[in-house]
Amino acid sequence: NAGVTQTPKFQVLKTGQSMTLQCAQDMNHEYMSWYRQDPGMGLRLIHYSVGAGITDQGEVPNGYNVSRSTTEDFPLRLLSAAPSQTSVYFCASSLSVSNYGYTFGSGTRLTVV
């Protein structure tokens, strides 16, 4: 099993550009979520999904969109990149949050200039 796969690993964007961060898991996990990690602030939840077709906002959703058309994929879209979105982004998934907790991808380091 590949686990949770994130692409790309690194990305540089210009202010105002849009892009999609990809996240895929091959473990048939229902729960998927996106976090951003900033120095001194820990990880903060952006959006999450409890199953295909269902998404909801986390702590810091502004400037980001998500969709969940399949169980496997949970892409994160930056609509118009801003320097404040420079961060490391992590995708996570879980089969049963109460029993197994979350499995994380290796992250995407995004720089907006």
Taking the CA atoms of residue 111, residue 37, residue 64 and residue 18 in that order, the dihedral angle to the nearest 10 degrees is: 10
Interface with another protein (CB under 8 A), residue total 26
1 belongs to the binding site for another protein (CB under 8 A): no
CB 33 within 8 A of CB 58: yes
Under the binding rule (CB under 8 A), the answer on residue 105 touching another protein is yes
Where does this chain touch another protein (CB under 8 A) — which range of 11-19, 63-71, 72-80, 97-105? Answer: 97-105
CB 34, min distance to another protein, A: 11
Residues listed for the chain: 113
Tell whether residue 100 is a contact of another protein (CB under 8 A). Answer: yes
HEC-encoded secondary structure of 47-87: EEEEECCEEEECCCCCCEEECCCCCCECCEEECCCCHHHCE
The residue ranges that bind another protein (CB under 8 A) are 31, 33, 35, 40-45, 48, 50, 58, 90, 92, 94, 97-107
